[in-house]
Amino acid sequence: MSNKYDVIIIGAGAAGMMCAIESGKRGKSVLLVDHAAKIAEKIRISGGGRCNFTNINTNPKNFISQNPNFSISALNQYTPDDFIELIKKHNIAYHEKTLGQLFCDHKSQLIIDMLLSECNQVNVKIKKCFVVDKVEKVNDDYIVINNNDKYFSKSLVIASGGLSIPKIGATDFGYKIASQFNLNIVETQPALVPLTFTDEILSLCNELSGLSLNANISQGNISFEEGMLFTHRGLSGPSILQISSYWSQGDSININLCPRDNLGEILQDKKNTKPKQNIISILCEFLPKRLAMIICDKNKFKGNISELSKQSLDKINNIINSWHVTPKGSEGYRTAEVTRGGVDTDEISSKTMMCRNHPGLFFIGEVVDVTGHLGGYNFQWAWSSGFVAGQYT
């Protein structure tokens, strides 16, 4: 029957394409379907159009999951070096930007073209604009129904991603299929997402919109030191996106606006050694001028440092080295880079990505409860989990 395949993969993103290539290399007949007219859109828009395709420092500690050990097997079976080898085979130029993050020198489309060419070499059949109306299981067969047409396979791989950026095709399809097969889902929430504020903090963010600086953001014992950006809605930039993956409604976060210096000690020292120095000029040595001026203006810190009480100096120290704020919320799935939570890893074998209780049913990529930090880790998870499933379909 022409609609019979060894493997059907739903979702032609990073994980789905990698799984298709690997299944195809093993001689399997593969159908890769996507409801979108343009596949792998997230690869195209990723990394500001240059795709941060992996991170050479990838480690299971860079992933959030209810089971922190779940990612180990897949990351060992397919490493950043393995993906770099593929990139080199296709002569795609790349560079390390910072912190082990590898980006394409040119457009992300080159990665999509590479994956399509690999799919083509192993005869993967790709169908776009393919809406899955229903999935059924009859005996050993998975049946995917589209427009009254039935497609049969022994292996069904769900690679439909998470909920972030619905505008380019994200849906809850994977979670619905998981529910259909009675699989537990770890509550989902937007992650790697800007945080929003109200009242005075929002008005401060508005005034400083566009300004960025290096900051250390912490919540409990988790902290990140990278860039932070003031925006019209609140705070963004890598350090905020990173902490957002750990943040829940009602939590406060601690921001150190000058993480390399202890302002408390410095101000005390200046008061003793340079009492006539103006407080604004002192703060401008450690902070961007606009920020230093706004902090002084809002708190009425002015004049020479000798004129400021110990209480005022402590307040300055607190604002700069330990600014405690409670976000009102996040920008949500509209701008989140990823979805935290997803199909419970207890339901899936970490060695094969196959469901423990449903032979032939696989979940890979972002739909699973494995969420990477910012910096190329999410694609590495997509490549690794896709590769692994491709060995067992």
Ligand X SMILES: Cc1cc2nc3c(=O)[nH]c(=O)nc-3n(C[C@H](O)[C@H](O)[C@H](O)COP(=O)(O)OP(=O)(O)OC[C@H]3O[C@@H](n4cnc5c(N)ncnc54)[C@H](O)[C@@H]3O)c2cc1C
Q: Write the DSSP assignment of 175-237 as a string of letters.
A: HHHHHHTT--EEEEEEES--EE--HHHHHHHHHTTT-EEEEEEEETTEEEEEEEEE-SSEEES
Residues 132-191 that bind ligand X (CB under 6 A): 132, 159-161, 164-165, 169, 171, 173
Q: Which residue is nearest to ligand X (CB)?
A: 13
Beta-carbon contacts of residue 278 (< 8 Å; ≥ 6 apart): 303, 304, 305
Site string for ligand X, 209-248 (x = CB under 6 A): ----------------------------------------
Query: In angstroms, what is the minimal distance from the CB of 165 to ligand X?
Result: 5
> Considering beta carbons, is residue 217 or 367 the nearer one to ligand X?
367
**Phi then psi dihedrals of residue 143, to 5 deg:** -120, 125
Q: Which of 196, 192, 193, 175 is nearest to 184 (CA)?
A: 175
Q: Based on CB atoms, which residue is closest to ligand X, 287 or 343?
A: 343
Q: Does position 365 bind ligand X by CB under 6 A?
A: yes
370 touches ligand X by CB under 6 A: no
Interface segment toward ligand X; rule CB under 6 A; list 34-42, 264-272, 294-302, 321-329: 34-42
Distance CA 351, CA 388 (A): 7
Q: Does 384 bind ligand X (CB under 6 A)?
A: no
Sign of CA dihedral 36, 38, 43, 45: negative
Write down the least CB distance from residue 101 to ligand X, Å. 8
d(C-alpha 60, C-alpha 77), whole Å? 13
Residue placing its CB nearer to ligand X in the complex, 291 or 355: 355
Q: Which residues bind ligand X (CB under 6 A)?
A: 10-16, 34-36, 39-40, 42, 45-47, 51-52, 132, 159-161, 164-165, 169, 171, 173, 337-338, 365-366, 376-379, 382
